[in-house]
Amino acid sequence: MSILSPTQRTTVTRETKRAVAGRSRMLALLGDALVAHLGVVVVRDGVTHPVVLPIAFAVDPDGPDADGTLYLHGSTGSGWLRSALDTDVCVTVTELDGLVAARSGFSHSMNYRSAVVIGRARVVDDPAERAHALDLIVDHMIPGRAATLRPPTRKELAATAVLALPLREASMKERAGGPEDEPEDVASGVWAGHIPLQRVALPPVSAPDSHDEAPVDVVARAEALG
């Protein structure tokens, strides 16, 4: 298991006490989180600007790329796709764990876990790897679901782009616990603490045209989520 932050651009330089060096912690976060934010650089009419979009993802720690593979998918007609090819992208995954109320505005903070992965995305062309990646993305939402579904049609596959981002250039930061106030602020007697936040799931809602009860894998997923 290699250590994170192997290059300068993924080395945490601010609040380094919050940097997490262990790859297993990052993989745990990427397993928990359901949405990533994909950043691409867009050049339009000579003006360069970033675009950040929420996107589904999945990770294969034993994927073909060094240190594992993060898979993304999207429509081949997506505007962001063009900007994601032949250049570097950034995928950031954040879970918010709490609000930290300190004695000063300056020390107010949030508890979170966040991973940042930067690199060149590879278009996945190999049919077996594409099928594997698409199954992983479905199973990341609901473990075991992909095996219960029909295989994708040729038309669906033709409309879907799959990208693979190596988990090599990555960093993670994490904050947990209560506020960190200056001694004179603690002495002021103002209350301080934190509000823990969690993501929870409600029971599955069957589609109106679905005639069965939710299957065990879906019920189990909702229960596991909270």
96-115: contacts with a second copy (CB under 8 A): 96, 99, 101, 103-106, 108, 110, 112, 114
Letters for 166-205 (x = contact with a second copy by CB under 8 A, - = none) are: ------------xx-x---xx-xxxxxxxxxxxxxxxxxx
Q: In what order do the strands lie in the sheet with 109-120?
A: 47-55, 36-44, 88-101, 109-120, 170-175
Handedness of CA 80, 115, 138, 203 (dihedral sign): negative
Q: Is 29 in the site for a second copy (CB under 8 A)?
A: no
Q: Is 1 in the site for a second copy (CB under 8 A)?
A: no
Q: Is 61 in the site for a second copy (CB under 8 A)?
A: no
Distance of CA 141 to the CA centre of its chain: 12
d(CA 89, CA 171): 14
Q: Is 82 in the site for a second copy (CB under 8 A)?
A: no
Q: Is 127 in the site for a second copy (CB under 8 A)?
A: no
Q: Which of 178, 200, 14 is CA-nearest to residue 110?
A: 178
Phi, psi of 172 (to 5 degrees): -140, 140
- In whole angstroms, the minimum distance from the beta carbon of 166 to a second copy comes to 14
Q: Is 123 in the site for a second copy (CB under 8 A)?
A: no
Q: Is 34 in the site for a second copy (CB under 8 A)?
A: yes
- In whole angstroms, the minimum distance from the beta carbon of 103 to a second copy comes to 7
